[in-house]
Structure 1
Amino acid sequence: MGFYYLIDKTEESIRPRYMETIEESLNDTTHVLSAIVEEKIKSNPKERFHFKALLEQIFRKPFQNVRNRTFEAKIYSLLKTNADIQMYITDANGIVIFDSEKFREGLDYSKYNDVYLTLKGKYGVRSSKMIETEKEGALFIASPIRYENEIIGVLTVIKPKIGLIPFIEEAKNKFWRISLLVASSIAIVFSLLAYISFRPILRLSKYVNALRTNDKKPFPKLGIKELNDLGKEVDQLVIELEGKKYVESYVQTLTHEIKSPLSSILASVELIHSHPTEIDRLTKTIDAEAKRIQNLIDQLLELSSLEGKNSIQLEDTIHLVPLLEEVITRFEIELERKALIVKRIFPNHSFQIRGNQNYMRMAIENIIRNSIEFANPNDTITVRIEFDESSQTNLVISDQGQSIPDYAFPKLTEKFFSLPRPIGNRKSSGLGLSIVKEILDLHRAALKIRNLNPKGVEVKIEFRNN
């Protein structure tokens, strides 16, 4: 509405501006014609007493000639074929003594503004009808004719407005076309800006809706700072809410996992009181179950610590071969108990990576522990460092134990998922590979697990930060 008001007022000003332009041109024309008359009188002062005859001599034939002349003047988009300018001249009393159209001669125009004001030494102009039936009227612009600083007459040039109307209408039409084009452009640009502005809101709305339906989606790029800040606050709120659920899940799982060994401990304590002779066996049971609880708690605390980190400082220079030897040495008793052989395939040169040595040791320990637990007695566990085609270094740990069922592969790194061990069908806490996955993610390394043929499992760590 504001834009329409602006263009409507501008359109209303087109006609006055055109009239002002024509008036300025006509003013120049009247002064040129007045100067011609004055020069004729100056060159022959006696002509002053024959003023009417002089005017007839100067202007009659030229006006007759221009009336009979036809031409084609392409003025912008309009074609002009004849001249419509008129002129009359009065004496010092305002009586018309020359008229290009002849019908005004002898009339008293001393009361009309163009003549009246000019005779008083002012700017003479008026806008009125030339005849009663005329619709638009005309512009009358006058200038004085002087002789020896005395006004002896008034020369008025007349421009019918009817000749200006086509130009004014064409200008208005062009103005409206341009205005509509500008308005359309503004509407399109506004729509695009609105779309660009509201699209981030739509993205944020979809993201929040996805959170509500537990559909995992990454936080969208919003572009607008304020919305981005709002989105980050929403994201942080979700993280905090998920953290609350995470703690609840941990508490429930911890309660469930501790319930079994705790029941076993309580039962053993009761049996000690009722069967004192079984103290040694029951004490070992209590010790084993207590260690199981301790291990579960340690792993839960470690995993929760790792999951709370987005990144870690990779400041240690890890010599991989010595680290592997250290970890293998820690499992010597378990290896001897199951008569397992560890085959080492290491490169001749020393290999180093950047990382956190404690975390990397923990990850390798969990992998080797799994290999030991799933291996059969007298099997061989192979630990090797290899290089692929892109010179990327991989640590591969493989065993000859039982293969992993197909259904279990997607769940291997999930918390609390565990497969039964081949001896006794006992399950672990299901946190080992979850911890490995978190550590390798922090080291920008990849974990790959596959079955070997005919049996066994291979676990590969691809170090991508070398």
Structure 2
Amino acid sequence: MKIRTRLFLGILLAVGVGFAFVVDWVVDDLTPQYRESTEEPLVDTARILAELAAATATQGRVQVGQFRTAFQRVAERPFTAQIYGLTKTRVDFRVYITDMRGIVLFDSDRGRDEGKDYLEWRDVHLTLRGQYGARSTREQLGEPNTSVLYVAAPIIAHGETLGVLSVGKPTTNINVFIAQAQRKIYFAGWVSGLMILVVGVLGSEMVTRPIRRLTKYATAIRDGQRVTLPRLGRSEIATLGNAFEEMRVTLEGKQYVEHYVQTLTHEIKSPVSAIHGAAELLKEEMPPERRDRFLENIRVEAQRIATIVEKMLLLSSLENRQGLQEVEPVNLREVVREITESLQPVLESKAITLAVSGDETATVQGEPFLIRQALLNILQNAVDFTPRGGGVRTSIEARDGGVAVVVHDTGPGIPAYAVERIFERFYSLQRPDTGKKSSGLGLSVVREIMQLHGGGVTVQNAPEGGVVARLVFARPGG
């Protein structure tokens, strides 16, 4: 299972369990909290009404007439009160008064229980004993939403307890408030949970993105691609990435040196042997013409060694680069014109025509020296393999958001056995007119240059004969 998936599932589980616990705990605590907040003002109300009842007492008996009249008027007087989501249109308080024996003297509910014995009810019983009296009773058995909360207070006149006044408040409206609060809490819980999940997903993405970049970087190095260390932020992943980069540079440096030493040794072995053999023969007496031929051989082989070393140094510097250095606009038509002028002596000696066509203003961003080296190698190969009296066509074309330089020669083409090997280092074909081979590094240099410029190079046989080489550059800003 991927790290990103593990992080997401872990966050999902933690958030789900945590929010379920918190929401359930808050919701379960709502009912007692609301009832506590309702009971507290009932205590004050009962105490105040008990004092008003005490003020009506005569001869040790509470006069309930004023209460009966007041509650009747309240019941008859219409009103509307919008309390948040609740519309209140009637007074739902219930007040009853008992004497010292618990007999109901007054019941605001249209005298419903007047004359009944309430001594066994907890609010009356405890209050008459001098304690805090309260109870919660369901008006309908089995229906928790019909509960009524009662709080009682003693009626004391001239230091004598005359009875009990109890105030009841139905929980119906409380249940409405609780239901509304529960819905809001659940909604807030879901929204908060969703937001935390989104943050968790983004967080897991932030954690795993550098890991994926580092993995892609390591895979590219394994596949031999030229890549730079990606941006990994400032976390421990960045430290790990820097360690990988240092390790890669160290290992590649050792392998690179070993490879090039072996390759250079192998490639200069033959010309060194030729020079050594010619030098040994020059010790002997021989005609001047033969001596001159051996001296020419030494010069040619020495030049070959110099060319190999020069191109290997260039290729080595290209392969160790991470990008371009001195970038500026380069007019491709102008570069081709300069190369054509430099090749003019060879073109004239072989009677080869070199035609140039296409966009004269085609410009790319790059290093002028490297672009010239790439075009020079391609054009030099075209001239080398074109027979006397042949021709080379060069065109500069705009293609797919880039610029392509297409070079088409009229030579013999690439043999089938060499098609897959022409970009190998030190692999070279004999030139038709001289039978000699080049250093075999030219196309390797061209490929490295084009990769540095974000482009590419292809060399293949043309259907009508000869070879077509295409160098594709990206346009500025492309």
Same fold by TM-score, threshold 0.5 exceeded?
yes
* Counterpart residue identity of residue 212, structure 2: R
Give me the whole-angstrom Cα distance separating, in 2, the residues matched to 1:210 and 1:16: 62
Task: Give 1:79's aligned residue.
Answer: none
After superposition, residues 35-434 of structure 1 pair within 5 angstroms as 37=53, 41=56, 48-49=58-59, 51-52=61-62, 54-55=63-64, 58=67, 87-90=96-99, 96=102, 98=104, 102-104=116-118, 112=126, 116=130, 125-127=132-134, 141-143=151-153, 145=155, 153=162, 155-157=164-166, 192=201, 195-196=204-205, 199-200=208-209, 203=212, 206-207=215-216, 210=219, 214=223, 226=235, 229-230=238-239, 232-233=241-242, 234-235=244-245, 237-274=247-284, 276-277=286-287, 278-309=290-321, 310-315=323-328, 318=331, 320-321=333-334, 323-337=335-349, 339-345=350-356, 356-382=367-393, 384-387=394-397, 395-405=405-415, 408-409=418-419, 411-423=421-433, 425-434=435-444
SS in 2 for 1:48: coil
Give me the whole-angstrom Cα distance separating, in 2, the residues matched to 1:22 and 1:12: 17
* 1:279-326 deviation per Cα after TM superposition (whole angstroms, max 9, x unaligned): 3222222211111110011011112223333013234765844x5454
* Counterpart residue identity of residue 210, structure 1: T
* Counterpart residue identity of residue 304, structure 2: R
Task: Indicate conservation of the 8 Å contact 1:34/1:145, yes or no.
Answer: yes
Change (3 A) 1:300 1:127: same
Give me the whole-angstrom Cα distance separating, in 2, the residues matched to 1:446 and 1:129: 87
Change (3 A) 1:115 1:84: farther
SS in 2 for 1:311: coil
Task: Give 2:459's aligned residue.
Answer: 449
* Counterpart residue identity of residue 238, structure 2: D
Q: Report how far residue 89 of structure 1 moved.
A: 3.7
Q: Which moved more, 1:253-262 or 1:239-248?
A: 239-248
Task: Give 1:438's aligned residue.
Answer: 448
Task: Indicate conservation of the 8 Å contact 1:445/1:463, yes or no.
Answer: yes
Q: Report how far residue 177 of structure 1 moved.
A: 6.9
* 1:212-235 deviation per Cα after TM superposition (whole angstroms, max 9, x unaligned): 854759789887652662464234
Change (3 A) 1:175 1:89: farther
Task: Give 2:89's aligned residue.
Answer: none
Task: Indicate conservation of the 8 Å contact 2:330/2:364, yes or no.
Answer: yes
Give me the whole-angstrom Cα distance separating, in 2, the residues matched to 1:106 and 1:367: 113
Task: Indicate conservation of the 8 Å contact 1:145/1:152, yes or no.
Answer: yes
* Counterpart residue identity of residue 326, structure 2: Q
Change (3 A) 1:312 1:105: closer
Task: Indicate conservation of the 8 Å contact 2:333/2:360, yes or no.
Answer: no
Q: Report how far residue 274 of structure 1 moved.
A: 5.0
Task: Give 1:120's aligned residue.
Answer: none
* Counterpart residue identity of residue 271, structure 1: L
Q: Which moved more, 1:150-159 or 1:233-242?
A: 150-159
* Counterpart residue identity of residue 325, structure 2: I
> Are 1:21 and 2:21 an aligned pair?
no
* Counterpart residue identity of residue 273, structure 2: S
Compare relative contact order (CA 8 Å, sep 6+) and give the higher one, 1 or 2.
Answer: 2
Change (3 A) 1:247 1:434: same
Aligned length: 429
* 1:411-463 deviation per Cα after TM superposition (whole angstroms, max 9, x unaligned): 54443333333346543222212223333445556544343343212334455
- Which structure: larger Rg? 1
* Structure 1 stretches lacking a partner, 5+ long: 42-46, 67-75, 77-82, 118-124
* 1:255-281 deviation per Cα after TM superposition (whole angstroms, max 9, x unaligned): 211122122222222333356554322
Q: Which moved more, 1:350-359 or 1:372-381?
A: 350-359
Change (3 A) 1:348 1:358: closer
Give me the whole-angstrom Cα distance separating, in 2, the residues matched to 1:343 and 1:433: 20
Task: Indicate conservation of the 8 Å contact 1:374/1:422, yes or no.
Answer: yes
Q: Report how far residue 23 of structure 1 moved.
A: 0.7
* Counterpart residue identity of residue 64, structure 2: L
* Structure 2 stretches lacking a partner, 5+ long: 1-16, 76-84, 86-91, 108-112
Give me the whole-angstrom Cα distance separating, in 1, the residues matched to 2:348 and 2:420: 33
SS in 2 for 1:313: coil
Task: Give 1:69's aligned residue.
Answer: none
Task: Indicate conservation of the 8 Å contact 1:95/1:110, yes or no.
Answer: no
Task: Indicate conservation of the 8 Å contact 2:34/2:178, yes or no.
Answer: no
Change (3 A) 1:425 1:341: closer
Give me the whole-angstrom Cα distance separating, in 1, the residues matched to 2:359 and 2:98: 120
Change (3 A) 1:462 1:138: closer
Change (3 A) 1:312 1:256: same
Change (3 A) 1:14 1:114: farther
Task: Indicate conservation of the 8 Å contact 2:149/2:171, yes or no.
Answer: no
Over the matched positions of the two proteins, sequence identity in percent amounts to 24
Give me the whole-angstrom Cα distance separating, in 2, the residues matched to 1:378 and 1:455: 15
